[in-house]
């Protein structure tokens, strides 16, 4: 009788794990990386850039260190001091042979990105910058060590 009682929890646990369930494959993976850099913000290389709201242009590079690839979907996220996030999708990938050479990995040759966006609706204030890359169910976030001030 005791062996039957021990089998009940084991059977329930086994039944809950599923066999070949697609649920495990549907889970998104979100990770962080430090393999990114923002070269220019509206032509400025400084770590703190002052702008009037309007056209925003950014150029840099970013790749996923975990997979050593440059995911095709890239967006820039600006976050204000109250925690509000403003997403700017549509970054275009550029070739960056210098990055591929530095990391000795030809697969990241297209690690460059360029964004041109309308930021005229953003409120005045200080913004931190993050680059988000995604490919399939994997999303990689990279904090940029620069800030924007819209004056």
Determine the Cα–Cα distance for residues 15 and 11; give it in Å rounded to an integer. 6
Mean pLDDT of the chain: 84
Q: What is the pLDDT of residue 27?
A: 61
Confidence of residue 90 (pLDDT cuts 50, 70, 90): confident
Region 109-117 average pLDDT: 96
Secondary structure (H, E, C), the chain: CHHHHHHHHHHHHHHHHCCCCCHHHHCCEEEECCCEEEEEECCECCCEEEECCCEEEEEEEECECCCCECCCEEEEEEEECCCCEEEECCCEEECCHHHHHHCCCHHHCCCEEEEEEECCCCCCEEEEEEEEEEECCEEEEEEEEEEEEEC
Q: How many CB atoms lie within 10 A of CB 147?
A: 16
The proportion of the chain whose per-residue pLDDT surpasses 90, expressed as a percent, equals 70
Q: What is the pTM of this model?
A: 0.77
Burial of 70 (0-12, 13-18, 19+ CB in 10 A): buried
Was domain 27-150 assigned CATH 2.60.40.10?
yes
Length of the chain: 151
pLDDT (tens digit per residue) in 5-53: 444 444 434 344 444 444 445 566 666 777 899 999 999 999 999 998 8
Q: Where are the domains of the chain?
A: 27-150
Token output for 35: 């393999």
């Amino acid at each position: 009788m005791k062996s039957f009682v021990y089998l009940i929890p084991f059977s329930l646990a086994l039944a809950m794990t599923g066999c070949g369930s697609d649920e495990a494959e549907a889970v998104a993976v979100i990770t962080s990386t430090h393999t990114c850099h923002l070269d220019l913000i509206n032509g400025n290389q400084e770590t703190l850039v002052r702008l009037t709201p309007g056209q925003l242009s950014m150029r840099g590079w970013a790749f996923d260190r975990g997979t050593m690839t440059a995911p095709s979907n890239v967006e820039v996220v600006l976050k204000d001091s109250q925690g509000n996030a403003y997403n700017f999708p549509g970054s275009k990938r550029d070739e960056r042979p210098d990055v591929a050479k530095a990391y000795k990995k030809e697969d990241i040759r297209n690690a460059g990105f360029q964004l041109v966006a309308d930021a005229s609706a953003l409120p005045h204030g200080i913004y931190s910058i993050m680059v988000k890359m995604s490919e399939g169910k994997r999303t990689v976030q990279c904090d940029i060590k620069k800030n924007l001030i819209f004056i």
